[in-house]
């Protein structure tokens, strides 16, 4: 029975891992009163379809008017701490 299960699982295609990105990795700092919009824009530009944005605890300031943030990918998950 174990051999049969192993053979079945061996034939399954690999499941791609989703990308998990955080604005902190792109220079955003929570609770510092500085504009974090450029870091958020850089993060969303690297995001892939099906990816995840993970927001750590804190307040991020998105105050730059000339730095629009758009998520142009499909099936994106946004997770907060």
What does the pLDDT read at residue 70?
Answer: 82
Distance, CA of 17 to CA of 39 (rounded, Å): 23
Helix (H, G, I), strand (E, B) or coil at 80: strand
In terms of residue numbers, what domain contains 48? 17-80
Walk along the chain (81 residues) and give the pLDDT tens digit of each residue: 454 444 444 554 554 455 899 999 999 999 999 999 999 999 999 999 999 999 999 999 998 777 677 888 999 999 998
Domains identified in the chain, total number: 1
Alpha helices in the chain (DSSP H): 2-10, 37-46
Q: Is residue 73 part of a domain?
A: yes
Does residue 70 sit within a domain?
A: yes
4, part of any domain: no
Asked if residue 3 is part of any domain, the answer here is no
């Amino acid at each position: 029975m174990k051999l049969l299960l192993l053979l079945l699982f061996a034939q399954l295609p690999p499941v791609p891992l989703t990308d998990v990105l955080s604005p902190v990795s792109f220079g955003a700092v929570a609770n510092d009163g500085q504009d974090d919009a450029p870091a958020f824009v850089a993060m969303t530009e690297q995001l892939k379809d099906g990816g995840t944005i993970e927001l750590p605890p804190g307040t991020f300031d998105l105050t730059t008017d000339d730095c629009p943030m758009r998520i142009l990918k499909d099936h994106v998950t946004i997770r907060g701490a």
